[in-house]
Amino acid sequence: QVQLVESGGGLVQAGGSLRLSCAASGRTFSTSAMGWFRQAPGKEREFVGAKRWSPVTTYYADSVKGRFTISRDSANNTVYLQMNSLKPEDTAVYYCAAGFLGRSPGAYAYWGQGTQVTVSS
């Protein structure tokens, strides 16, 4: 099992930045990629970005490309989603997920509890 705990969400004005954290524990060696998804009220869960580190491969949704960046602190088993130039349409609950690289939620077996991001206009 892999446990994922997210933090870092909050309220920010449009144009601002937030950094989400996803701390992983457990059998992390059983997964090779981390993904980020988001879900706004009344909408389906949406792919945001994903990254595999060996070999390095990164995917981002077109809606966040150039604004969001995935990184990690290997020593602390933590993955980050740096979000810059935030827009009101980025408002959603953000989830990190561990599994195999892909854009579909089905590629990920383990999920965090979600953290709310609200961007005011």
pLDDT in tens, the chain (121 residues): 999 999 999 999 999 999 999 999 988 777 889 999 999 999 999 999 999 988 999 999 999 999 999 999 989 999 999 999 999 999 999 999 999 999 999 999 999 999 999 999 9
Per-residue model confidence (pLDDT) at position 92: 98
For residue 26, the model assigns a pLDDT of 87
The pLDDT value given to residue 55: 92
Q: What is the pLDDT of residue 63?
A: 97
Cα distances (angstroms) measured from residue 95 to each of 55, 74, 89, 113: 23, 19, 16, 7
Burial of 17 (0-12, 13-18, 19+ CB in 10 A): exposed
Calpha distance 56→5 (Å, rounded): 23
Which value, to the nearest 10 degrees, does the dihedral of the CA atoms of residues 37, 60, 86, 96 take? 30
User: Tokens at residue 10, please?
Assistant: 């909050």
pLDDT at 105: 96
Residue 15 exposed, middle or buried by CB count within 10 Å (0-12, 13-18, 19+): exposed
The half-sphere exposure of 97 on its side-chain side, counting CA atoms within 13 A, is 24
Q: What is the pLDDT of residue 120?
A: 97
- In angstroms, the CA 117 to CA 10 distance is 5
**Type of residue found at 80:** Y
